[in-house]
Amino acid sequence: MKIAMIGSGYVGLVSGACFADFGHTVVCIDKAEAKIEALKRGEMPIFEPGLEALVAENVKAGRLSFTTEFAGPVSEADVVFIAVGTPSRRGDGHADLSYVYAAAREIAQSVRGFTVVVTKSTVPVGTGDEVERILRETRPEADIAVVSNPEFLREGAAIGDFKRPDRIVVGIEDERAREVMTEVYRPLYLNQSPLLFTTRRTSELIKYAANAFLAMKITFINEIADLCEKVGADVQQISRGIGLDGRIGAKFLHAGPGYGGSCFPKDTLALVKTAQDNDSPVRLIETTIAINDTRKRAMARKVVSALGGEVRGKKIAVLGLTFKPETDDMRDAPSISIIQALQDGGAHISAYDPEGMEASKAVLDNVTYGTSPYDIAEGAEALVIVTEWNQFRALDFQRLKAGMAKPVLVDLRNVYKPEEVARHGFAYFSIGRGTSPMVAPVCEAAE
Ligand X SMILES: NC(=O)c1ccc[n+]([C@@H]2O[C@H](COP(=O)([O-])OP(=O)(O)OC[C@H]3O[C@@H](n4cnc5c(N)ncnc54)[C@H](O)[C@@H]3O)[C@@H](O)[C@H]2O)c1
30 binds ligand X (CB under 6 A): yes
Which of residues 144 and 347 has its CB atom nearest to ligand X in the complex?
A: 144
Q: Candidates 3-11, 234-242, 244-252, 421-429 — which segment interacts with ligand X by CB under 6 A? A: 3-11
Q: Which helix (H) or strand (E) holds 349?
A: strand 348-352
To the query of whether residue 18 is one of the catalytic residues in this protein, the response is no
- 254 in a labelled binding site: yes
Count of CB atoms situated within 10 Å of the CB of 234: 18
409 marked as binding residue: no
Tell me if 148 contacts ligand X by CB under 6 A. no
> Is 292 within 8 Å of 258 (Cβ atoms)?
yes
Under the criterion CB under 6 A, does residue 65 sit at the interface with ligand X? no
| Beta partners for residue 317, in sequence order | 350, 383
124 in contact with ligand X (CB under 6 A): no
**Integer Cα distance of 447 and 1 in angstroms:** 75
Choice from 1, 32, 56, 363 touching ligand X (CB under 6 A): 32
How does 241-258 read in b/e, with b if 16+ C-beta sit within 10 Å?
ebbeeeeeeeebbbbbbb
Sheet with 427-429: list strands edge to edge. 367-369, 348-352, 315-319, 382-385, 408-411, 427-429
* Residue 7 within binding range of ligand X, rule CB under 6 A: yes
Residue 31 near ligand X by CB under 6 A: yes
**Which of 5, 26, 77, 84 touches ligand X (CB under 6 A)?**
84
83 binds ligand X (CB under 6 A): yes
Question: What's the angle, vertex CA 186, arms to CA 199 and CA 31, rounded to 5?
Answer: 75
Binding status of residue 151 toward ligand X by CB under 6 A: yes
Q: Considering beta carbons, is residue 138 or 435 the nearer one to ligand X?
A: 138
- Binding residue for ligand X, selected from 263, 282, 316, 364, defined by CB under 6 A: 263
Q: Counting contacts by CB under 6 A, is residue 155 touching ligand X?
A: yes
Question: Is residue 177 a known part of a binding site?
Answer: no
DSSP string, 374-436: HHHHTT-SEEEE-S--GGGTT--HHHHHHH-SS-EEEETT--S-HHHHHHTT-EEE-SSB--S
Nearer to ligand X, 94 or 302 (CB): 94
The region of 51-59, 81-89, 247-255, 386-394 touching ligand X under the rule CB under 6 A is 81-89
Strand partners for 170? 197
Length of the chain: 447
Residue 130 annotated as part of some ligand binding site: no
10-29: which residues touch ligand X (CB under 6 A)? 10-12, 29
Catalytic residues: 263
- Site of interaction with ligand X (CB under 6 A): 6-12, 29-32, 35, 83-86, 99, 102-103, 121-122, 151, 153, 155, 262-263
